[in-house]
C-alpha cells in the first residue's frame, strides 16, 4: 500500500481495530462522510467526498501526522503525548496542530500497586520497577515529582506484570477500574488524563483539502454538541409554570405553547444542554406535569 503524500484526497488516519475505531468512524459518518469499509483493507475511499481513510495501529497515527504522510489523525491524547515525547528525545519532527478534543476515549494513565503493598505516597515508588507501555509519559512524570524509579517496557498485558514477578507496580490505562480490580491492583497515582483528539499535520494543505477541513470542524462541533443535548417536551400546569421552568436544565427561554381547549395547561419545549435525570422528571410529575418526553438530538447548527 502506498499513501501518496501529495494526493489531492484528504487522508485521515484512524485506529483500525480497538477502543477508538468504532467511535472515530461513527464521528466521521455523522459528519456526512460515507465509507464502505472492507475489513482487510487499510485504505478506504469516501464515497461522497475526496477523502481517504487510513486504518492503522493507534501508535502509528501521531508519527504519520507529524511526518506529513497523512493530513489528519484521530488518536488518544495518551498515545499522542507518548509519541511526541519520544520523538523530541530522538530529534524527530514532533509538531502537529490540535484541531479538536473529542468526546470519546476518556481514560487515565495511572500507577497501580498490588493491593497488599502498603502505600503512603509517591515516595514509596522510589527504587521500584514499574511496568508500562508508556515509558516516556511515566519518566516525564517521575522526573516532575522527583522520584527515581525504573521502567519495564511491555507492549501488552501490563496488568499481569506484578503477579508474574516482572515488576513491583504498573502504569497503565484505566477507565472503569475493572481490569485493575480483576488483577488485585489498586490505583495510586493518576499521571495523565486522556481523550481522543483530532490532529492535523503542520505542513501547508492545498485549498481543496483546507476547505474540506473548514466544513468538517463545524460539523464535528454540531455532532458533539447534539450528543450532549436533549430535546425535552412536556405538559405543565400554567399555575406551576415558573417552578417547572426552573427545574429544566439550561432552559432560560423555553417555548411555551397553548393546548387545544385547555386553559389550565401548556406544552413546554426546550433544547437542554444537559440530560434530564429521573429525579428531576419525578419532581416535574409531582408539580402536575405529564407526557414528559426526553429525546436525543442528531445534529445541531447555529
Ligand X SMILES: O=P(O)(O)OC[C@H]1O[C@H](OP(=O)(O)OP(=O)(O)O)[C@H](O)[C@@H]1O
Number of Cα atoms under 13 Å in the Cβ half of residue 41: 11
| 177 lies in the site for ligand X, by CB under 6 A | yes
Distance, in Å, from the CA atom of 302 to the CA atom of 296, rounded to the nearest integer, reads 18
90 to 129: interface string for ligand X, x by CB under 6 A: ----------------------------------------
| 174 lies in the site for ligand X, by CB under 6 A | yes
Helix axes 21-30, 207-228, angle to 10 degrees: 100
| 178 lies in the site for ligand X, by CB under 6 A | yes
Nearest to 152 by CA among 164, 169, 173, 137: 169
Distance, in Å, from the CA atom of 20 to the CA atom of 165, rounded to the nearest integer, reads 31
CB of 107 to ligand ATP, least distance (A): 4
Q: Which stretch binds ligand ATP (CB under 6 A): 44-52, 54-62, 219-227, 289-297?
A: 54-62
Instruction: Work out what residue 15 binds among ligand X, ligand ATP, Mg ion, none; the CB cut-off runs from 5 to 8 Å by kind.
Output: ligand ATP
| 109 lies in the site for ligand ATP, by CB under 6 A | no
User: Phi then psi for 156, rounded to 5 degrees?
Assistant: -165, 175
> Which is closer to ligand ATP, CB of 79 or CB of 232?
79
CB atoms near residue 9 (< 10 Å): 17
DSSP-assigned letters across all residues of 210-235: HHHHHHHHHHHHHHHHHHH-EEEEEE
CB of 29 to ligand X, least distance (A): 22
CB of 195 to ligand X, least distance (A): 14
CB of 112 to ligand X, least distance (A): 10
Q: What is the footprint of Mg ion within residues 39-98 (CB under 5 A)?
A: 58-59
Question: Out of 18, 50, 127, 250, which residue is the one contacting ligand ATP (CB under 6 A)?
Answer: 18
Distance, in Å, from the CA atom of 29 to the CA atom of 140, rounded to the nearest integer, reads 37
Q: What is the footprint of ligand ATP within residues 149-178 (CB under 6 A)?
A: 173, 175
Cα pseudo-dihedral 203, 209, 210, 211, rounded to 10: 180
Residue 214 cell numbers, joined: 473548514
Helix axes 135-145, 77-89, angle to 10 degrees: 80
| 172 lies in the site for ligand X, by CB under 6 A | yes
Residue whose CB is nearest to ligand ATP in the complex, by number: 76
Tell me which residues touch ligand X (CB under 6 A): 19, 156, 159, 172-179
Tell me which residues touch ligand ATP (CB under 6 A): 15, 18-20, 57-59, 76, 78-79, 105-107, 173, 175, 194
Amino acid at each position: 500500500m502506498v499513501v501518496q503524500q501529495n494526493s489531492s484526497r484528504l487522508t485521515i488516519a484512524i485506529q483500525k481495530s480497538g477502543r477508538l475505531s468504532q467511535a472515530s468512524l461513527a464521528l466521521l459518518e455523522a459528519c456526512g462522510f460515507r465509507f464502505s469499509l472492507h475489513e482487510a483493507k487499510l485504505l478506504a475511499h469516501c464515497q461522497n467526498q475526496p477523502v481517504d481513510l487510513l486504518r492503522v495501529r493507534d501508535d502509528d497515527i501521531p508519527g504519520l501526522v507529524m511526518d506529513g504522510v497523512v493530513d489528519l489523525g484521530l488518536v488518544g491524547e495518551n498515545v499522542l503525548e507518548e509519541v511526541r515525547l519520544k520523538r523530541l528525545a530522538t530529534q524527530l519532527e514532533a509538531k502537529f496542530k490540535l484541531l479538536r478534543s473529542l468526546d470519546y476515549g476518556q481514560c487515565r494513565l495511572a500507577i497501580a500497586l498490588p493491593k497488599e503493598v502498603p502505600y503512603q505516597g509517591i515516595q514509596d515508588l522510589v527504587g521500584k520497577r514499574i511496568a508500562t507501555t508508556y515509558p516516556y509519559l511515566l519518566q516525564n512524570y517521575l522526573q516532575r515529582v522527583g522520584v527515581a524509579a525504573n521502567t519495564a517496557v511491555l507492549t501488552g498485558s501490563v496488568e499481569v506484570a506484578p503477579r508474574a514477578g516482572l515488576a513491583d507496580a504498573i502504569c497503565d490505562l484505566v477507565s472503569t477500574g475493572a481490569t485493575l480490580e480483576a488483577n488485585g491492583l489498586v490505583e495510586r497515582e493518576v499521571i495523565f488524563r486522556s481523550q481522543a483528539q483530532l490532529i492535523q499535520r503542520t505542513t501547508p494543505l492545498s485549498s481543496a483539502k483546507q476547505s474540506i477541513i473548514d466544513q468538517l470542524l463545524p460539523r464535528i462541533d454540531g455532532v458533539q454538541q447534539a450528543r450532549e443535548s436533549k430535546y425535552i417536551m412536556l405538559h405543565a400546569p400554567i399555575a406551576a409554570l415558573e417552578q417547572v421552568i426552573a427545574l429544566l436544565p439550561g432552559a432560560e427561554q423555553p417555548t411555551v405553547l397553548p393546548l387545544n381547549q385547555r386553559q389550565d395547561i401548556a406544552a413546554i419545549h426546550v433544547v437542554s444542554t444537559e440530560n434530564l435525570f429521573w429525579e428531576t422528571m419525578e419532581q416535574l410529575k409531582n408539580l402536575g406535569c405529564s407526557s414528559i418526553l426526553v429525546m436525543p438530538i442528531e445534529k445541531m447548527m447555529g
